[in-house]
Amino acid sequence: MPNRGMFAATRGWAPTTAGDAGTGRCGYDHRTMTTAPTLDRWPLVGRRLDIELFVDALDEPAISAFVITGPAGVGKTRLADECQAMAVVEGHATARVIASRAAASVPLGALAHLLPAWNETLEAHAAFIVALYELAAAAPEANRPVVIMVDDIHLLDTASLALLDHARHVGAAFLVGTRRADEPTTEALATVLHDPAATEYPLAPLARTDVDTLLHLALGGPLEGSAGAELWSISQGNALYLRELTMGAVSSGALIDDGGVWHLQGPITSSHRLRELIDERIRGTGDKGRVVLEWLAAVGPTGRSELEAMTTIEALDALDAAGLTEITEDGRRRTVSLTHTLHGEVIRAGLPRLRIRTLLREAIARVDGHGARRRDDATRVAMWQLAVDGRADTSVLLHAARAARAAHDFAEVERLAAAISRAEPNLAEAAALLGEALYELGRFDDAEAVLARAHQVATSDADRVHIASARARNQFWGLVDPTAAAGTLDAVRPLLTDAADRDQLVSIEASFLVFDGDPRGALRRIDAIEAAPSPRRQALRALPEAPALTVLGRTFDALAIATAGFEAHMALGDQLLVAHPGTHIVAQALALTHGGRLDEADQLAHAGYDIAISDRVPFSQIWFALELGTINILRGRPATAQTWYRDARTKARATGLRGPLTMALSGAAMAAAQLGDVTGAIGARDELLTLTDHGVRFGFLAHEQALGVAWAHVAAGQLPAAHALLVEQGDAAAAADHVISASWLWHDALRIDPESTVAERLAGVAAASDSPLLAARAEHAAAVAAHDGEALERSAATLASLGLALVAAEAELAAADGFRRDGDQRRGQAAATRAELVLAGCEGARTPRSVRADTIVPLSNREREIALLATQGLTSRDIGERLALSVRTVNNHLQRVYTKLAISNRAELADALGLDGGPTP
Amino acid sequence: MTPEQIALVQSSYAHAQDKLPELGAAFYRQLFTAHPEVRELFSTDPEIQQKKFTDELSEIVASVHQLPTFLETARELGARHLDYRTRARHYGAVGDALLAALIEVLGPDATEDTIAAWRLAYNLIAETMQQGAAEAARQRAMRG
C-alpha cells in the first residue's frame, strides 16, 4: 500500500503577492516528512536571466516598453509579474492592467481603475498623465516612470493602447506587456512593437535542466528518473502544461510520494484543465491541421505521402514545427505520428464515436484498396476492425499479441488477448497470453481464474507448458503460495510426452525450491534434467543451480554456471518460455556480490537494471535494485543503498510482488538505521512485520529479513535485542545451509557487540565457502576476539581491499582502541586517522562501532550505547526506560563519557563522537 | 534530480575530499580564463577565496538530500551574493567553471552520468541562491 498522503503536510509554497515565490516554506525532509504539492504558485525557475534583461531595459533611458511574446502557457504573465516586482525593488511605482475581450468593448475600460474621473476623452490624456505623475512622486525613487504591466496586450482596446503609448512617450510610463505569439496583432499594437523604443522579448519554453529543478522544488523532493523524463516529454518545457500535468498526476494518484521520492505509478492522464490547454493548442492549427490530427488520433501513425493527399504540405509542416507531430524515417518511408499519446487521447475524447468509426473504415478501405504496403498492415487492419465493430481476425491479433509480449507491453497483450478470448474462448494460447499479462499487470486473482480455465482447454504440450509455467509463476510470485505452484507443476508433468518439455517444468520447480529457501532440494531436483550437454539443458539447469550454489557459499561455481547459462540461453533465441535470459544476469550479480567482487557486481547490476528499464520488465528491475541495495550496504554506502531499496520497494508494491517486497523493506530498514534515521528504520521494519504477520512467507535468503529488524532495533537503541536476534537467525540460517546469510547475520551481530562469541561460527561457514567475503568476516571476528590491535589492522586492510569501507573503518577504530589500551598512542592515532578517511566515503553512516572516539580510554559498550541515544535527543529518563536502567545510572554513564571525551555537556556530544548534525527530529 | 543523481553528486564529492584545494584552484582558473572581466569582483586573497568556495560547496552538497536545510543554506548564500554584485549571467559562468573544474579534478571518476548529475545539482543550487537574492532585494526595498 503506497503511503500516499501519509506524511502529507498541508504546507506548500505560500502564495505570494508580486514578488518571489521562494519565500514560501517548503517543508520536505528526506527522513521524516514530505510536502504534498498543493501549490497555488510554483517557484520561479529558469527566468533570472530574463528578469535581468528586463532590468537592463528598464534602466536604459531609450527604452520604454518591454513586450514578452510567446505561446500560451510558456510563463509570460509570471515573468511579467516578476519584472514588475523587480521594478518595485528598483524604486518604481507600478500598476497593472488586464486586457480582455470583454473589457475591449468599452473604450478605456481596461484603464478605468487608473483614471481619475474625467468628462471628455480629450481630457483623458492629461488626466492619465497627472495620475501617473502623482503615483511616481509617491514612489521610493521619485519621478521614475510608472511601470505598467499589461497582461494580454494583444486584447487591449485601441483607445487604451493609445493612452498608454502616449504616457510612455512623455516618460511617465514604462510598459511591460505580455503577448500571445499566435494571436493576430492589431495595427495599433504593431506600431508599438515596431517602435525602436520598444523591446519585443520572445520567451522560450523552460530548458530541460530547469524543468528538473522546478519539479524538484515544487514537489519538495527528488523524482524517479522515468517520471521526470515523462513529464519533460509531454510538457516540452511549457510551464503551464508541466504544472497541470504534475498536479493532475498527483491528484489522480499516478504520481506518488514514496518515502520522500516521487514515483510514477500509473499513466499520466489529462486533467480537465490540461484538456482545455491541449484543445486550445490544437484549435490553433486551423482546419487543415485539425483534419490530420484527428486522423492520426483515430487511425495511428500514417505515411506522410498519404497525409499529403488529405491536406496541404504547409499544414503538415506547421504541425511538425508546432511539435504536435513527428516524423520517423524507416528506409524510404516517412511516417507521421502524434508526438504524444496524451494529445491523441484528448482529440479522441472530443470526437463523436461515429466520426472515429468513419475514419477507421476509411483507413481500412485505403489499405484494402492499395494492398498491404507495410509489414504490420494486416495487424493494423485487424485492430481497426476490432475498434469498428468488435470483430476480430484472431490469427492476426494473436500474432500482434505475441509481438506485444515480446515487447513486454502487457497492457496491450491483455487488450488483444482478451478480444481474442471473447471471440474464441477455447483458444489455449490466447488464454495463456491473457493470464500471463494479468500476472504481469499485478492482477493475480484474475490471472489465476483465467489460467485455471486455460489449463482445461489446452490440447498441445507447448500450450500446457506455457499455461502451467504462467500459472505456477502467478501462484508462487503473485499469490505467494509455493504449495499451489508445486501442485500445478505436478499435475501437468505426467501429461507431457516430450522430455524437453518436462525439463522446462523441472527447471521452474527447482527455481521455486531455491526461492522457497531450499537450495539443496533444488540441486537434487535438477538431476532430473539429463546432464548430457545441450545449450537448452544447460540454460535450464543454470536457472536454479546458480542461485542455489551462491546461497550455499559456492560463489565461484555459481558464477561460472550463470555465465555459461546466459550464453546458452542467448544462443537459443526465444525457444524457452520459462524465463527471461536476464535471470542469469541476476544470478551472476548475486554470485559476484557474495563472492566479494563488489565492483564487478555493481557494474553488472547497473547494466542489468538499465536493460530491465528499457525492456520494461519490472520483475528484473526489482531484483537488480535489491542487488544494488545489498552491494551498497556492504560497501558502506547506506544512502545509496537506501535509494535502491526504496526503488525496489516502490516497484514491488506497484507490481504486488510481496516476496521481493519483504527483502526491500528489510534493506530499507537496515539502510535507514545505518544513517541514524530512526523513523525510517522503524517504519520499514513495521511494514515488514505486518507483511509477515499476514502470512507472507518468502523463503529466499529469508533469514536476512532479520537484518532489517535488528538494525531498526539498533537505531532505537536496543542493542542487546538486535544482537540476540542476529545470532539466533544466523544459527537458523546455518542450520538451513544458507551459508552466505549465516555469515552476514553473525558478522553484523559482532559489529553490534564485540563481545559476541561468533568467531568460531564465522570461521566454520567461511571454511565451507569459497568466498573471500566470508573469509574476511571470519578474519575480522578472530581479530576482535583476540583483542589484537595488529590483527585488527590487518583485518581492516583485507576488508578495505574488498571494498567493505564501513566495516573496515569499524575495524580500524577497534584497532585504534586496542593500540591505545596497550599504550601505543602513535599507532592508535594512525589507525583512527585511517578510519576517519575511510568514513568520509561512507555517506554519513553511523553504526555503533563507526562512532569516532578520540579518547585515551575507549568508551565501554554501555557508554557507547547511552551516548548514541543521547545524541538522538533522548532524555536520560527515556534512555533509562529503554535500557531498563535508573536515571541515575544513565547520568553516571554519561558523566564518564563526558570525562573520557573531555566535553562538558550533551550538546557537544554529537560533535565529539564525529556525528554530523544534531539529533534526528 | 533523481535519488541516484543526488547520491552520485554526494559520493563523487566525497571521493574528491582530499583534492578540495585543487578543486578550488581549478574553479577560479577556469572562471577567470573564460570570463576575465569577473576577476575584479574578487578582492580577497585567492587561497582564502578558494577555501571559502569549497567550504560553501561542501555545506550545500552535504544537504542536497534534505531540502529544508538545503533551501535555507542556498538562499542565505544567495542573499550574501547580492552584496557581491552577482548577476544572473554570472551564475551561468560559475556553473560552467565548476563543471570544468570537476572534470579536471575527478579525472576518470567524471563520467557522463556524474557530470549530468552535477549539472542538475548546480542548477538547483543556482536557482535557489537567486531566489534567496531576489527575496533579500525585495525585503531591502520594502524597508527602504
d(C-alpha A673, C-alpha A752), whole Å = 13
B127 CA: distance to closest CA in chain A (Å):
6
d(C-alpha A198, C-alpha A742), whole Å = 77
Position A854 pLDDT exceeds 50: no
d(C-alpha A559, C-alpha A547), whole Å = 9
What's the confidence (pLDDT) of residue A920? 38
Question: Residue A159: which H helix or E strand, with range?
Answer: helix A158-169
d(C-alpha A37, C-alpha A246), whole Å = 9
Nearest CA in chain A to B121: A213
What's the confidence (pLDDT) of residue A104? 67
SS3 state of residue A573? coil
Burial class of residue A369, CB neighbours in 10 A (0-12, 13-18, 19+) = exposed
Whether A48 and B88 lie within 8 Å, measured CB to CB = yes
Contacts of A85 in chain B (CB under 8 A): 134, 138
CB A725 within 8 A of CB A710: yes
Whether A210 and B123 lie within 8 Å, measured CB to CB = yes
What's the confidence (pLDDT) of residue A438? 92
Residue-wise pLDDT tens digits, A110-122: 777 777 665 555 5
CB A550 within 8 A of CB A768: no
C-alpha cell at A276: 482545455
Q: Please, which residues have CB within 8 angstroms of residue A204's CB and are 6 or more apart in sequence? A: A70, A74, A237
B44 CA: distance to closest CA in chain A (Å):
27
d(C-alpha A508, C-alpha A36), whole Å = 44
Contacts of A220 in chain B (CB under 8 A): 67
Whether B14 and A841 lie within 8 Å, measured CB to CB = yes
Position A558 pLDDT exceeds 90: yes
Whether B4 and A43 lie within 8 Å, measured CB to CB = no
What's the confidence (pLDDT) of residue A168? 92
Q: Please, which residues have CB within 8 angstroms of residue B90's CB and are 6 or more apart in sequence? A: B38, B41
B93 CA: distance to closest CA in chain A (Å):
12
d(C-alpha A762, C-alpha A878), whole Å = 35
Position A25 pLDDT exceeds 50: no
Position A332 pLDDT exceeds 80: no
Q: Where are the alpha helices (DSSP H) in A42-120?
A: 48-59, 76-89, 101-104
Contacts of B131 in chain A (CB under 8 A): 20-22, 43-44
What's the confidence (pLDDT) of residue A120? 53
How do the residues of chain B divide into helix, strand and coil, expressed in percent and rounded to 5? 85, 0, 15
pLDDT band at A3 (very low <50, low <70, confident <90, very high): very low
Position A921 pLDDT exceeds 50: no
Range of weakest confidence among A11-20, A121-130, A588-597: A11-20
B95 CA: distance to closest CA in chain A (Å):
12
Residue-wise pLDDT tens digits, A225-246: 888 888 887 788 888 889 888 8
Position A256 pLDDT exceeds 60: yes
Position A257 pLDDT exceeds 60: yes
DSSP characters for A728-773? HHHHHHHHTT-HHHHHHHHHHHHHH-TT---HHHHHHHHHT---HH
The overall average pLDDT reported for chain A is 84
Whether B68 and A225 lie within 8 Å, measured CB to CB = no
Share of chain A above pLDDT 90, in %: 42
Which whole-number Å values give the CA distances from A197 to A60, A70, A126, A438, A544, in the listed order?
10, 20, 22, 65, 77
Position A38 pLDDT exceeds 70: no
What are the beta bridge partners of residue A264?
A255
The more confident residue out of A545 and A366 is: A545
What's the confidence (pLDDT) of residue A694? 85
Residues in chain B predicted with pLDDT less than 70, given as ranges, are: 144
Whether A213 and B124 lie within 8 Å, measured CB to CB = yes
Range of weakest confidence among A519-523, A894-898, B17-21: A894-898
A46 CA: distance to closest CA in chain B (Å):
7
Q: Which residue has the cell 506548500?
A: A12
What's the confidence (pLDDT) of residue A661? 95
Contact with chain A for residue B132, Cβ under 8 A: yes
Which of A31, A640, A840 is closest, CB to CB, to B7? A640
Share of chain A above pLDDT 70, in %: 90
Whether A212 and B127 lie within 8 Å, measured CB to CB = no
C-alpha cell at A94: 507600478
Best residue in A7, A13, A16, A20 to probe B by mutation, most B CBs within 10 Å? Answer: A20
Q: What is the mean pLDDT of residues A436-463?
A: 90
Q: Which residue has the cell 523604443?
A: A197
Range of weakest confidence among A61-75, A243-257, A478-492, A581-595: A243-257
Contact with chain A for residue B111, Cβ under 8 A: no
Whether A52 and B89 lie within 8 Å, measured CB to CB = yes
CB A181 within 8 A of CB A69: yes
pLDDT band at A459 (very low <50, low <70, confident <90, very high): confident
Whether B4 and A225 lie within 8 Å, measured CB to CB = yes
What's the confidence (pLDDT) of residue B40? 82
What is the value of ipTM here, to two decimals? 0.95
CB A40 within 8 A of CB A13: yes
What's the confidence (pLDDT) of residue A919? 40
Which whole-number Å values give the CA distances from A807 to A63, A746, A753, A842, in the listed order?
66, 14, 13, 10
What's the confidence (pLDDT) of residue A768? 94
Residue-wise pLDDT tens digits, A86-107: 999 989 999 888 787 766 666 7
SS3 state of residue A22? helix
Q: What is the mean pLDDT of residues A187-209?
A: 91
Contacts of B7 in chain A (CB under 8 A): 637, 639-640, 643, 843
d(C-alpha A140, C-alpha B141), whole Å = 9
Q: What is the mean pLDDT of residues A493-504?
A: 87
CB A890 within 8 A of CB A880: yes
The more confident residue out of A337 and A563 is: A563
How do the residues of chain A divide into helix, strand and coil, expressed in percent and rounded to 5? 65, 5, 30
- A49 φ/ψ angles, rounded to the nearest 5 degrees: -65, -40
Whether A647 and B3 lie within 8 Å, measured CB to CB = yes
What's the confidence (pLDDT) of residue A126? 77
Contacts of B135 in chain A (CB under 8 A): 19-20, 22-23
Position A317 pLDDT exceeds 50: yes
C-alpha cell at A633: 550496504
Q: Residues A610-644, buried b or exposed e (16+ Cβ, 10 A)?
A: eebeeeebbbbbbbbbbbbbbbbbbbbbbbbbbbb
Taking each helix axis as running N to C, give the angle between helix A772-786 and helix A789-801, from 0 to 180 degrees, rounded to the nearest 10: 160
Whether A841 and B67 lie within 8 Å, measured CB to CB = no
Per-residue H/E/C for A464-524: HHHHHHHHHHHHHHHCCCHHHHHHHHHHHHHHCCCHHHHHHHHHHHHHHHHHCCCHHHHHH
Position A26 pLDDT exceeds 60: no
C-alpha cell at B70: 538545503
Which of B7, B17, B68 is closest, CB to CB, to A840? B17
Whether A88 and B138 lie within 8 Å, measured CB to CB = yes
Question: Residue B121: which H helix or E strand, with range?
Answer: helix B112-143
DSSP characters for A300-312? -SEEHHHHHTTS-
DSSP type of residue A14: P
pLDDT band at A432 (very low <50, low <70, confident <90, very high): very high
Q: Please, which residues have CB within 8 angstroms of residue A694's CB and are 6 or more apart in sequence? A: none
Position A796 pLDDT exceeds 90: yes
Within 10 A of A304 (CB to CB), how many other CB atoms are there? Answer: 16
d(C-alpha A471, C-alpha A449), whole Å = 9
Q: Torsion angle of alpha carbons A393, A395, A398, A400, nearest 10°?
A: -70
Best residue in A11, A30, A33 to probe B by mutation, most B CBs within 10 Å? Answer: A30
What's the confidence (pLDDT) of residue A513? 95
Whether A48 and B127 lie within 8 Å, measured CB to CB = yes
Of the candidates A233, A341, A336, A332, the one whose C-alpha atom is nearest the C-alpha of residue A291 is A336
Note which residues in 41-70 of chain B have CB less than 8 A from chain A. 62, 65-68
Which of A30, A140, A212 is closest, CB to CB, to B65? A30
Which of B10, B92, B123 is closest, CB to CB, to A213? B123
Sheet holding A146-151, edge to edge: A94-98, A146-151, A173-180, A65-70, A198-202
Task: Please report the number of interchain residue pairs, chain A to chain B, with beta-carbon separation below 8 angstroms.
Answer: 119
The more confident residue out of B120 and A126 is: B120
Contacts of A57 in chain B (CB under 8 A): none
Contacts of A224 in chain B (CB under 8 A): 2-3
pLDDT band at A650 (very low <50, low <70, confident <90, very high): confident
What's the confidence (pLDDT) of residue A911? 73
Q: Torsion angle of alpha carbons A105, A108, A112, A117, nearest 10°?
A: -130
Whether B2 and A89 lie within 8 Å, measured CB to CB = no
Contacts of A212 in chain B (CB under 8 A): 1, 120, 123-124
What's the confidence (pLDDT) of residue A125? 76
Which of A28, A85, A640 is closest, CB to CB, to B11? A640
Of the candidates A606, A597, A526, A510, the one whose C-alpha atom is nearest the C-alpha of residue A555 is A597
Position A15 pLDDT exceeds 60: no
What's the confidence (pLDDT) of residue A146? 93
Range of weakest confidence among A387-396, A790-799, A832-841: A387-396
Residue-wise pLDDT tens digits, A740-754: 999 999 999 999 999
What's the confidence (pLDDT) of residue A13? 27
C-alpha cell at A728: 539466533
What's the confidence (pLDDT) of residue A143? 80
Position A8 pLDDT exceeds 60: no
Question: Position A271: which residue type?
Answer: S
Whether B123 and A23 lie within 8 Å, measured CB to CB = no
Supply the pTM of this predicted model.
0.63
Whether B131 and A29 lie within 8 Å, measured CB to CB = no
Contacts of A261 in chain B (CB under 8 A): 3
